[in-house]
Structure 1
Amino acid sequence: TFIMTGGTTGVPKATVLTHFNLVSNAIQCVLWVGGEDPGVGDIGAIPLYHSFAMTAVMNVAIGLGGWMMLFPRPPPTGEFLKEITHIDAPKGLFYAGAEILFKRIADFPDLGKFPNLMGRLRLCISGAGPLHAPVQKSFQENTRGKIVEGYGLSEASPVVSAGNLFGESPIGTIGMPLTGTDWGIFDTDDFEKGPIAHGLSGSKFGEENTGEICVCGPQVMKGYLNQPEETVDTIKKWDGRLWLLTGDIGFMNDDGTIAIRDRKKQLIKVAGHSVFPAEVESMLMSHEAVSEAAVAGLPDPKGKVGEITKAWVALRPEYKGKITDKELIAWTEKNMTKWKCPAVIDFIDEVPKNIMGKIQRRVLQEADPLFKK
């Protein structure tokens, strides 16, 4: 099976996924949700040609012995809620999607019109980007459903890890690796140095030991189609096993969970300091006026600090015209280290996303007059 990568940070590539990769990942996901559960419903509002939907919706539903409710594209929230609440679902629903889909439900003003929704979305996984704490909190409070963050990439069929659906799941982490999957934090510049942290003796935990997240398991792709050089750069051998270099930056906690910081290629360098866009986005989204945010680096027009951090912010309707960019920047400076704060904020109507709901930082970045290819 050939599945295209998202192309978030560059030109999309075709991953070569074997039947063994895909079946293994489906079984891993079935085990993660608790094993076979005939009769459970699986909602699909993301396209099946994407690895996330193919595995987490279609293949998992088959593995569970459940049924699927498919939408060709995410419908308006009211229409979506009407459809999922009128259908008979005594065992509840499993819903895999991007954060924006869960945010729309959590923010929907007329949830009271759908009393059958309460507790119906019992197993939810947010993927294709980070699950921000305010979204998780409001979704669970407003629907009485359980939602956790998952992590994956097309090169891994795609699911690598997920939070605990049946217990506590630490906020800010991407959970634990699925059955049969190992992961570690490796040096971002030299994989051959071996792991900084891999959960065993000698591991160095914590944010000060940040590196590239690498994974090893039966779901890791065979390679990229007709791109041998890119394959060699992405799949490397260590300790007799093949590891996938994900291109994501993170660190391991002493409990074995990993906190993801951002994409390696989207790291912003401000006067030599590393700024992770996702961290700045999370801070901005914790402000009561902010609905969505996207952050990227741009060349410093003054040539003093290398790059500057720019944020594109969509305000909640009730705050439009009531807060300025300077006020929002001043607020971030009170809540973050100064060199992490955005130097510039533009207000926009909506943050652009791809069909999966993933924020398209590159679209905003490349459209900016300061951008240099």
Structure 2
Amino acid sequence: CMYWLGGEQPGIGNIGVLPLFHSFAHTVVMNTTIAFGGWMMLFPRPPDTPELLKTIEELPAPKGLVYAGAEILFKRLAEFEDINKYPEVMGKLNLCVSGAGPLHRPVRDAFVKNTGGRIVEGYGLSEATPVVSAGNLFGESPIGVIGMPFPATEWGIWPVEDFSEGPICLGNPNDTNFGEEHTGEICVHGPQVMLEYLNKPDETADTIKEYNGKLWLLTGDIGFMNEDGTIEIRDRKKQLIKYKGYSVYPKEVEELLMKHPEISEAAVAGLPHDEFGEAVKAWVELTPGSTLTPDEIKKWAAENMTHYKRPYYVQIIEEVPKNLIGKVQRRTLQEADPIFKEKYGK
């Protein structure tokens, strides 16, 4: 992490909005800043956007600033209409890292346009203490991928249902199983992978498995590898929607819906359906002043989305729920839905 964020040049500032008790902030904000001899600007609570921008304007940052967070933090800056009132912010946010969930392309593009900053995705999980890979902050970094694994870290794609079948792709010179058609579970080997879940041998056995003398962590994330060795995450294995035999990835549906100019944010999950297996439901947060209706969204989806990705149900909500670090809580919406409750109980 230290070298990824420019640690060969001490003195970089780090904007700390995330709570330090979370492994993401603990690593990228606190430990990394101490390691590269930088400084932190810590907020005791998440600031509103004008307060954040005013603070950034006042901070000396000849080498730029590190700003790590979940997508919602970058979305607020991307959509802030009065950012031109803070001209000194432009270009300062050149070391931005999005994690704790997907970074949707519309948010990424709008953030870069509105702030002049640079943002890449980082990928990790608690079981990998917690960093696995990251995009390139100082050169070309493809959009939509989670970068390259950190030093001494290996990754690969395995069959979702059976690890014992062996890898689909490891990114070796003789591999040919690249691309979306070779989607599977992302697995990781490296010094940062945990030893075990404490006093939980069954859960450990399901999550850590051996292949060719190495221990691999099954991340629970579904994705595929590109020919350049980068990986694109499609979604969480547990959140995959099975509709009429099709695999529907919530992240893809959310990105498509957010292309509508009046949809600010969307969360997607599957609901039980007797005929389809699962039906796609979208909870949608509209832009201020919008009067868009569920029927209008469904009509737009019919004209702009592949048939099996279209939401069968659409619900307008005031705000998409998130946890303390800004991760969208799809599961909360799904479990609160009357159709889900009727099938599985409260």
Q: Which residue of 2 aligns with 1:358?
A: 327
Q: Is the 8 A contact 2:5 2:66 kept in 1?
A: no
Distance, in Å, in 2 between the alignment partners of 1:64 and 1:35 is 5
Matching residue within 44, 55, 65 for 1:93: 65
Secondary structure class of the residue paired with 2:168: strand
Q: Does 1:244 align with 2:217?
A: yes
Q: Does 1:111 align with 2:83?
A: yes
Q: Which residue of 2 aligns with 1:181?
A: 153
Letter in 2 for 1:360: Q
Worse-superposed segment, 135-144 or 256-265? 135-144
- The runs of 4+ residues in structure 1 deviating greater than 4 Å are none
Worse-superposed segment, 328-337 or 263-272? 328-337
Q: TM-score, normalised by structure 1?
A: 0.89
Q: Does 1:124 align with 2:96?
A: yes
Q: Which residue of 1 aligns with 2:185?
A: 212
Q: Is the 8 A contact 1:313 1:348 kept in 2?
A: yes
Unaligned runs of 5+ in 1: 1-28
Q: Which residue of 1 aligns with 2:305?
A: 336
1:226-245 → structure 2 map (5 Å cutoff): 226-245=199-218
Worse-superposed segment, 273-282 or 324-333? 324-333
CA deviations on 1:45-98 (whole Å, 9 max, x unpaired) are 111111100100111101111011111231111111112221222222111111
Q: Is the 8 A contact 1:126 1:150 kept in 2?
A: yes
Letter in 2 for 1:370: I
Matching residue within 285, 308, 322 for 2:279: 308
Distance, in Å, in 2 between the alignment partners of 1:208 and 1:87 is 47
Letter in 2 for 1:286: K
Matching residue within 309, 315, 319 for 1:346: 315
Q: Which residue of 2 aligns with 1:223?
A: 196
Aligned residues: 341
Q: TM-score, normalised by structure 2?
A: 0.96
Q: Which residue of 1 aligns with 2:239?
A: 266
CA deviations on 1:124-176 (whole Å, 9 max, x unpaired) are 01001111111111111111111011111111111111111122222221111
Matching residue within 319, 339, 344 for 1:370: 339
Letter in 2 for 1:186: W
After superposition, the CA RMSD in angstroms is: 1.2
Distance, in Å, in 2 between the alignment partners of 1:203 and 1:223 is 33
Q: Which residue of 2 aligns with 1:8?
A: none
Q: Is the 8 A contact 1:36 1:65 kept in 2?
A: no
Q: Is the 8 A contact 1:270 1:307 kept in 2?
A: yes
Q: Is the 8 A contact 1:151 1:161 kept in 2?
A: yes
CA deviations on 1:265-286 (whole Å, 9 max, x unpaired) are 1111111111111110011111
Q: Is the 8 A contact 1:196 1:203 kept in 2?
A: no
Q: Which residue of 1 aligns with 2:257?
A: 284
Higher relative contact order (CA 8 A, sep 6+): 1
Matching residue within 37, 52, 63 for 2:35: 63
Identity over aligned residues, as a percent? 65
Matching residue within 117, 124, 144 for 1:145: 117
Distance, in Å, in 2 between the alignment partners of 1:59 and 1:243 is 26
Quote how far apart the aligned CAs of 1:318 are: 2.7
Distance, in Å, in 1 between the alignment partners of 2:199 and 2:65 is 40
Q: Which residue of 2 aligns with 1:13?
A: none
Q: Is the 8 A contact 1:46 1:72 kept in 2?
A: no
Quote how far apart the aligned CAs of 1:370 are: 0.5
Q: Is the 8 A contact 2:122 2:134 kept in 1?
A: yes
Distance, in Å, in 2 between the alignment partners of 1:36 and 1:42 is 15
Distance, in Å, in 1 between the alignment partners of 2:260 and 2:239 is 23
